[in-house]
A = this chain, B = another copy of it.
Amino acid sequence: MSGSKARLYMDYNASAPLRPQAYDAMLAALLIDANPSSVHTDGRAARSLVDQSRQQIDCLFGGQAKQMIFTSGATEAANFVLTPDWTMGRAPVRFSKLYVAASAHPCLLSGGRFAFDDVVQVPVTEHGTVDLIILEDLLDRHDAASGMPLVAMPAACNETGVMQPLTELASLVRAKGGTLVVDAVQMAGRLPIDLSNPAGDYFILSAHKLGGPRGIGALVALSDLMMPRPLITGGGQEKGHRAGTENTVGIAGFGAAVQAALIDMAEERWADTVVQRDRFEAELRMLCPSAIIHGDAVQRLPNTSFFSLPGIKAETAQIALDLDGIAVSAGSACSSGKVGPSHVLEVMNAERVDGALRVSLGLDASDADIDRLLQSLQRLLKRSKTARAA
């Protein structure tokens, strides 16, 4: 019955469908055949494509980016920026410890090029926001003689959608002589990055979470005083910060997706998604009063709902929804099909639940889509109740 319906994709935080504008830009870029480092006319055409995308993406930062290094995605950008070894001009600069939110994505938590012992996890509250008092204490106790403190925070959690108080974080880190790396992967293109106050020093971006292609991302610096030592060397591309021929097709799609996302944000289209998400959560609570919605007491991304249905395993629910044609996730998709407990639930002290389901919506989520999701969950709840009664 439901098998004949079109599939319903509600896993935007794992990968957002390609925006038509990105598709068109990639089609055009596929026809440009040269290496952007070649000095002939053909090469310069490829180069101008890269330059144009850089300008489009810079608009996420109000044109204030001082450096934008294209990478193969957010994970490479994280490995690039999370390093003890930096340079200021030609002088070496050293960060001795990395302080990273315990709810961060694994690509931040792994600490990049920091030694395991130099990575300090900063606890989060039960709501998923970083504990600012503990962070302040950690930074106060930081041994500045060994090097500066580097702090890495997700602007918004990929699982819960919970947003960190960036302005307070940036002010605190700045006051303590640290540098703030913001994982803006889930926030960029959904909510504006407010640069009227300090909001961070380095930003990690991924194209495919905002409607661009997979395989392209960037590290953006708001100051060009200091830069991390390159991760990938052996070529002069990206002003020497990242060697390797540029992914011109991916870069073109990234720029076009950002441009389209900026228009959606200017038109405040995500407000409709918040309405759908909130209606979903309200009706879910009516269907199942004991449902736990993680992070719902604090500010979240407009499109994300991360919830546990007591007595129902998240993996089981995910498969049941998939059979009903609905794609959601049971935690992060980052680990190649590996199903394991969510570290985010754990650090939010919610490990007593049997995992959680993540619904992450796109701008096109309709009343009918939410109804279909609710109906599928209702059937699941009914089956579970019957099974327990038997």
Contacts and interface: CB of A to CB of B under 8 A. Distances in A.
B234 A110 contact: yes
Nearest to A315: B39
A40 interface: yes
A107 B247 contact: no
A333 interface: yes
A17 B14 CA distance: 32
Given A73-B245, A215-B250, 12 more contacts: A15-B35, A16-B33, A43-B333, A72-B72, A72-B76, A79-B231, A214-B245, A216-B247, A231-B231, A231-B232, A236-B335, A245-B333
A117 to B, nearest CB: 16
Per assembly, the copies of the chain total 2
A365 to B, nearest CB: 15
Contacts of A388: none
Interface in A323-381: 327-330, 333-339
22 contacts: A9-B34, A11-B40, A11-B42, A17-B33, A35-B214, A37-B336, A39-B322, A39-B329, A39-B330, A40-B327, A72-B215, A72-B244, A72-B247, A74-B244, A75-B234, A107-B243, A107-B244, A109-B234, A206-B245, A215-B215, A235-B336, A236-B338
A110 B215 CA distance: 24
Nearest to A215: B247
Interface string A1-19: 0000001010100111110
Nearest to A245: B214
A233 interface: yes
Contacts of A321: 40
A290 to B, nearest CB: 26
A171 interface: no
A37 B248 CA distance: 24
B215 A249 contact: yes
A96 interface: no
Interface of A: 7, 9, 11, 14-18, 23, 26-27, 30-31, 33-43, 46-47, 71-76, 78-79, 105-110, 112, 206, 208, 213-216, 231-239, 243-250, 318, 321-322, 327-330, 333-339
A254 to B, nearest CB: 11
B37 A335 contact: yes
A73 B11 contact: no
A218 to B, nearest CB: 13
Contacts of A36: 336
A256 to B, nearest CB: 13
B75 A244 contact: yes
Contacts of A34: 9, 11, 14-15, 327
Q: Which 3 A-B pairs have the closest CB atoms?
A: A215-B247, A107-B234, A72-B72
